[in-house]
Structure 1
Amino acid sequence: MSTKRFQNKVAIVTGASRGIGQAIALAFAREGAHVASVDIGDQSETAAKAKSLGAKCNTYVEDLSKLTQKSAAEFIAKVVKDAGQVDVLINCAGIIKRAPIVDHPESDWNLVLAINLTAPFLLTQAVAKWWVSGGRDKAPADARLKVVNIASMLSFQGGILVPGYTASKSGIAGITKAFANELAKERANFNAIAPGYIATENTRPIREDEKRNQSILDRIPEARWGKPEDVAEPILFLASKEADYMNGTIMNVDGGWLAR
């Protein structure tokens, strides 16, 4: 049931064309937000579904692997021009490359770090700079900028065959805390969700490996893979007023995986 708690708010969601990102974008749309959908691919499905929920949705085609400080600042300025403001940034876009660690290609390492860590840093830096340089002054006195990153269980564990992904998600946990340490006093919140095993295209190869899939299910106390919506709903909480006193938090959404 919608409570329209993000009515008159503008939420940027990267990686919004499918999977977790699309679920997040549609959750914000359901709650009344003006969604700024960002992806390198076709976002027409996301836009159509958001509009069917009565929400405004602008789409932006961006290659986040090539983002720079300049282009990140230009992107935030474009969203502000189109939508009037930015209230929420969700850094969800991400990729994963699998290879044995001794053979892991340098090109894969660089690409994963660029999309999963550098782009979230640059976008967060750009939106935070916009906020403290005047955006905050135009917002209501009790308004706060909300940034939610997508971390991972591999922010806490090493993983297998995914050194670039592990490094990027460990970095996400670190920069989430770093931004919180410096900017919480500026009426800004920086938190992260650490999803467990979620049924998306990124995890399809694992789910199709019958033995590996079963070993994962055997360890998850919930005994099932998570759904994108299982991640989207806690993100709404972290972006809401109810989470105003949460800063630098990495929230696990893993069906109990890390508790076992």
Structure 2
Amino acid sequence: MKTLKFWPAALLLSTAGIVHVGLAAAAQLSEGEVNPTNERSNHIEPCCGPISDVGTKLLGVLDQSDVEHLWLPHAHVNWETGMPEAGAPGYTSHCSAYAAAIGKRLDVYMLRPPEHSPVLLASAQTAWFGRAAGEQAGWYPIGTAQQAQSLSNAGELVVASYESPNPRKPGHIAIVRPSLKSAAALAEDGPEITQAGAQNYTDSNVRTGFKHHDIAGPNGVLYFGHVVRAR
């Protein structure tokens, strides 16, 4: 004959309560509520590491440059400030002047006026970075878009640049901007950038910024970097 076991009523109520709570939680999740234990697995990690304190300062320099209102195309501007100046009609864009101006604000030299005319300066800068003069000034080539974004996040001055194969047509140059973008976004659009150009952007990406040039997507540009001294 089997022995009958009698569980205390309090335990039975407690067990029933656990089952009830579990069913209610499952019902809530089925209605689209987020399970806190899965938040980490659902989080998309940035492609290229965190933004350092120096990277945050670089963001401040780029944001405070007010590039969307200065270095405007088709206007004659002061290359350092981007302010309109009286004179002959300006160039289609001022990408190279803006890049050089940001370099000067960070105490980093790149080819600029008066050493080179503003005409076709972006192509000349791109070639200069890869030559002995650029290397002696502290510039070095960066192999991949991911490395370019990572170094920018770390606070180095990184440029994305393109030398036009046609010596009569302009190239293009932009400043790589610190960003917590995902690996998928990096693969699709390239690093984040700040630029002057046919369209000025405080925050855009290589694919958008270089769309007027005959490049093979985000991988059609060159990247160069320079260490920024602590300020």
| TM interval, short-chain normalised | under 0.3
Structure with higher helix content:
1
Given the two structures, how large is their TM-score scaled by the length of structure 2?
Answer: 0.26
Flag the structure with larger Rg.
Answer: 2
Return the TM-score normalized by structure 1. Answer: 0.24
